[in-house]
Amino acid sequence: MRITDTADMWWKTAVVYCLDVETFLDWNDDGTGDFAGLAQRVDYLAELGVTCLWLMPFYPTPDRDDGYDITDFYGVDPRLGTHGDLVEAIRTAKDRGMRVIVDLVVNHTSDQHPWFEASRSSRESKYRDWYVWVDEPPAGKQPEPVFPDQEKSVWTLDERTGQYYLHHFYKHQPDLNVTNPQVRDEIARIVGFWLALGVSGFRVDAVPFFIDTIGESPTALPDPHEVVRHLRAFLNRRTGDAILLGEVNVPYDQQLEFFGGDEGDELTLQFDFITMQNMYLALARQDAAPLAKALRERPEIPPECQWGTFVRNHDELTLDKLSDDERQEVFDAFGPQERMQVFGRGLIRRLPPMLDGDADRIRMVYSLLFTLPGTPVLFYGEEIGMGENLELGDRKAVRTPMQWTAEPSAGFSRAAADQLAAPLVSGDFGPQAVNVEAQRSDPESFLNFVRLLIARYRNSPELGWGRFEVLAQPHGAVFAHRLIWEDAVLVAVHNLSPEPVKVPLELGEQVAGNELLDLLDSQNTRVDDEGRTEIELGRYGYRWLRVATKGSRRLR
């Protein structure tokens, strides 16, 4: 389905903010965040400039996998509130100009879900084929479990019925069988239910595993991507501007398939894991080449689709698409201790501690994020420079309570610290040193810097819509690029090293004799009659420069 009205493609210039209700704000003082607390902080998010909230799972759960093991896809975890509380939070967000998307986790269920309990009760159960059962695991090489330190196989024997069931993740998360049309119909009903309650789309968890059809089935799909196409078509029929934001960590050519190829009829957005990983490699080397290469290799995608860019997300910071040697470079630079690493492929750290709290370098990285072509996605706490709690290990290290104040429980709750849903960060990045209250009133704070970046991004459609080009540079540490959209040209330059540099720019005859307006400062620069100029960058310096051509109507 082609979308011709660009106003419906709100995601092209959105600012997405991911949060876990459980760790955002506790309003009833029981130590667990809730929807009532989220509603109280919607104004804060609006002031920040967020245009889309992404809510991590809030469904009923045994909570063995931080809420991703779900027992009711239509429910709300009673610890977090009720359906009414959720709808009130969505309404409040919409009143402030924000949309809300929610996690769609339909690759698997909890083993305590009524569907699976019925499925394993008997081989004759009507829910038997809602999951993937085999007498023996298929011959040949099997896929590695997502969590290889926890599971040795993707198949587990169920003693009661004598068959094996499939689980790409934990054994307590059996995979649903999407080759079963009844399962596909149920997923559509789930999507329709949450759309009716006011959400504007879904972040789809683990999409490649979702459509993986291991095992033989009489209803097997000749094209597994048909599942995603049908889901997108259903979404478009129900509400034309809702989105599917997919977690797809595969090579670029395969990502193009998940967009739907030239048709653009599958996922609306996908996270760009490859650019993210190469950005960290570039930071470790203080050399822009890996980042430039990754962005040059990005495939062209249909105009109805978009890349999601990010510095950090809610999972481990995966480096799986780097070579072993490249990954080790990043480990050595940003996570040298074994406790900082996980699964042999990623880090459990947030950016500020990785960069030893270097304010200039941290600001440069977030400036870079907001100038990358695509839609920026923030993980809660990034806007104030939160750190991690390494004692928690695994992915939980970055899922700590939001730090609102310097109070003992960080203003997250009035419950005692030992009653909180998760332990707080301590030390140099704990709430006494890093919190919203202190930064909100400081015009030079990181929070206000991120607010400025978001404001400039929102006023720069080139970044969401423009044609991207890397600009050649004699300085290996400098990443320079431009985006062109209609009559607007935006040039961004970032110095990945602590050494000041003078950066030559050759912008071409079309902008010769014009001025470059600095969007973050007042250091405007003149382009000579041959389309050349030179700018200075300090240690970890950065500039956003809009070409003020005679016909341009774009301002700062």
Which positions are catalytic? 205, 247
| Cβ count within 10 A of residue 138 | 13
Contact 437, 384 (CB under 8 A): no
Main-chain dihedrals φ then ψ at residue 457, nearest 5 degrees: -60, -45
Helix (H, G, I), strand (E, B) or coil at 422: coil
Amino acid at the residue 407: E
Size of the chain, expressed as the number of residues it contains: 556
Which residues lie closer than 8 Å to 399 by C-beta, 6 or more apart? Answer: 20, 23, 66, 314, 392, 422
243 has which bridge partners?
A: 201
Amino acid at the residue 272: D
Instruction: Please state the separation of Cα 197 from the chain's center in Å.
Output: 23
What six digits make up the tokens of 365? Answer: 């990285």
What six digits make up the tokens of 153? Answer: 């196989």
| Residue in the structure block whose two tokens are 């931080």 | 66
Q: Measured between alpha carbons, how far is 168 from 179 in angstroms, rounded to an integer?
A: 16
Q: Measured between alpha carbons, how far is 370 from 279 in angstroms, rounded to an integer?
A: 13
Q: Measured between alpha carbons, how far is 21 from 412 in angstroms, rounded to an integer?
A: 11
Closest CA to 129 of 172, 179, 55: 179
Q: Measured between alpha carbons, how far is 22 from 368 in angstroms, rounded to an integer?
A: 30
Q: What is the dihedral of CA 152, 154, 157, 161, to 10 degrees?
A: 170
Q: Measured between alpha carbons, how far is 217 from 231 in angstroms, rounded to an integer?
A: 21
What six digits make up the tokens of 413? Answer: 């709750």
Q: Measured between alpha carbons, how far is 294 from 271 in angstroms, rounded to an integer?
A: 14
Contact 126, 118 (CB under 8 A): yes
What six digits make up the tokens of 333? Answer: 């630079």
Instruction: Please state the separation of Cα 97 from the chain's center in Å.
Output: 20
Helices within 372-502 (DSSP H only): 436-440, 446-458, 461-465
What six digits make up the tokens of 198? Answer: 């006011």
Contact 117, 215 (CB under 8 A): no
Exposure string for 415-432, b = 16+ CB within 10 A, e = fewer: beeeebbbebbeeebbbb
DSSP state of 176: B
* Residue 427, phi-psi category: left (phi > 0), alpha (psi -120 to 50), beta (remainder): left
What six digits make up the tokens of 174? Answer: 């059996």
